[in-house]
């Protein structure tokens, strides 16, 4: 079965396109149709354990998600020691796109289009009770025609009520929400909204907003830019395992004064960021409400 599958999907390059959360991604060609596709190859570490739960989760989630702003899973093959996932091939990702743009801010219309598409993909996931948990520019694929697609669902989870305790060792540190950084184990959809806000601000400045080299460094970078939160901002703040009364107290700054975003993205964008980047997860706008914001023309 594996031979047939690997004969059908032949590697175009031996070098991987990149590494996802739990596997390498290769550019392949469908020998029958000539179509260029992407193959994610996931090694199964321990045969006795079988297919890792992360792989099963990714397959199960992607099989459910059919949306223009979510990467398409086309085929799956599982053998004794590896799992092969075949996806549509997308030419670039947001990180590469921004680098190609010269590491400066994206043009305002491009940023708006990408943010809207990112939120549409996230809204679709959230409506199906799926938290992506690892949103970052590398996981947002960008086609030549400017279509943005969410990818790498290796860490995604379906959530239910009551919420199970999740590991907080997820999401690249720069895009992690304060509740994860401060050790909260019960969290939900707003973690993705925070990550969307970080990516949105990065599009407007050309640089990651909170580029910390550890969890504590990242949380301090957040506090320095947005002000150290008080219990007025977040009433359960000091219930978080890693929040300390001894942390430095930085003053709050308006979004219009952060990274020149008022000039690069505009006032409406700064207002949307204000609504997205709330410390208290319960006060963050949902993806649905973000899409109704006046920045996108309202409803």
Q: What is the pLDDT along the chain (299 residues), one digit of tens a residue?
A: 445 787 889 999 888 887 765 678 899 999 999 999 999 887 766 544 555 666 777 787 888 889 999 999 998 888 777 888 899 999 999 999 999 988 789 999 999 999 999 999 999 999 988 899 889 999 999 999 999 999 987 666 665 544 455 454 445 799 999 999 999 887 789 999 999 999 999 999 999 999 999 999 999 999 999 999 999 999 988 888 888 999 999 999 999 999 999 999 999 999 999 999 999 999 999 999 999 999 999 66
Residue 20 pLDDT: 60
Ranges for all domains in the chain classified under CATH 3.30.200.20 = 2-88
134 is annotated as an active-site residue: yes
Name the nearest CA neighbour of 209 among 157, 149, 265.
265
| Token pair recorded at residue 288 | 């649905």
Give the CATH number of domain 2-88: 3.30.200.20
pLDDT per residue over 172-204, tens digit each?
799 999 999 999 887 789 999 999 999 999 999
Q: How far apart are the first and last CA of the chain?
A: 51
Q: What is the spatial distance between Cα 244 and Cα 114, in angstroms, rounded to a whole number?
A: 37
Provide CB contacts within 8 A for 111, sequence distance 6+: 105, 200, 203, 204, 264, 265, 269
- Whole-angstrom CA distances from 191 to 55, 135, 237, 278, 288 are 22, 9, 16, 11, 15
Residue 299 pLDDT: 60
Query: ∠ at Cα 272 (267, 278), nearest 5°?
Result: 125
Ranges for all domains in the chain classified under CATH 1.10.510.10 = 92-296
Residue 63 pLDDT: 82
Q: Which residues of 222-245 are buried (b: 16+ CB within 10 A; e: fewer)?
A: bbebbbbbeeeebeebeebeebee
pTM listed for this prediction: 0.89
Q: What is the spatial distance between Cα 248 and Cα 258, in angstroms, rounded to a whole number?
A: 19
Residue entry with tokens 């305790």: 165
Give the CATH number of domain 92-296: 1.10.510.10
Paired with 70 in beta bridges are 150
Find how far residue 86's CA is from the centre of its chain: 20
Of residues 13, 75, 109, 134, which has the active-site annotation?
134
């Amino acid at each position: 079965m594996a031979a047939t599958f690997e004969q059908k999907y032949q590697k175009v390059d031996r070098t991987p396109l990149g590494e996802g959360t739990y596997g390498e991604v290769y550019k392949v060609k469908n020998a029958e149709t000539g179509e260029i596709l992407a193959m994610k190859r996931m090694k199964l570490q321990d045969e006795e354990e079988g297919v890792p739960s992360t792989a099963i989760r990714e397959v199960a989630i992607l099989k459910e998600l059919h949306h223009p702003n979510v990467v398409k899973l086309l085929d799956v093959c599982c053998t004794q020691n590896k799992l092969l996932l075949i996806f549509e091939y997308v030419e670039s990702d947001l990180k590469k796109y921004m680098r190609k743009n010269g590491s400066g801010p994206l043009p305002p219309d491009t940023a708006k289009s990408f943010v809207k598409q990112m939120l549409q993909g996230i809204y679709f996931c959230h409506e199906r009770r799926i938290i992506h948990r690892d949103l970052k520019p590398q996981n947002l694929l960008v086609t030549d025609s400017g279509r943005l697609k969410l990818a790498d669902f290796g860490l995604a989870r379906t959530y239910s009520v009551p919420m199970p305790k999740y590991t907080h060792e997820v999401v690249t540190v720069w895009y992690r929400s304060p509740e994860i950084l401060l050790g909260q184990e019960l969290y939900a959809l707003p973690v993705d909204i925070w990550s969307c806000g970080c990516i949105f601000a990065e599009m407007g400045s050309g640089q990651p907003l909170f580029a910390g080299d550890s969890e504590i460094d990242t949380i301090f970078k957040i506090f320095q830019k947005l002000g150290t939160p008080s219990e007025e901002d977040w009433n359960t703040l000091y219930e978080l395992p890693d929040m300390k009364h001894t942390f430095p107290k930085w003053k709050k700054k308006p979004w219009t004064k952060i990274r020149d975003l008022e000039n690069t993205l505009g006032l409406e964008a700064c207002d949307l960021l204000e609504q997205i980047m709330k410390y208290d997860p319960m006060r963050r706008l949902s993806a649905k409400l973000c899409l109704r914001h006046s920045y996108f023309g309202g409803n």
